[in-house]
Amino acid sequence: MSVEETLKKIVTRVTRKPDAAFSPEATFEELDADSLDIVQILVALEDTYDIEIQDEELQEIKNMGDFIAYVERKVGEKGK
């Protein structure tokens, strides 16, 4: 499963939004994700990919596309 598919699955489960609401252009705000939802999403991704997501790096993430690219980069760095 790709990072995008995994993120979509996690986000739709946590936010209880339909799959159709998820797109690379969607923001956490547009998905009605509150701070607790975001923490749950981060923990699920960290557990799934065995990575550590830095809070300060999240400030640069504007939408799901940015988040996908960030997780892909972290997974790639872990593999090196």
Annotated catalytic residues are: 34
CA distances to 4, 34, 59, 79 from 29, rounded to whole Å, are 18, 8, 14, 32
Q: Taking the chain, what is the end-to-end CA distance rounded to the nearest angstrom?
A: 20
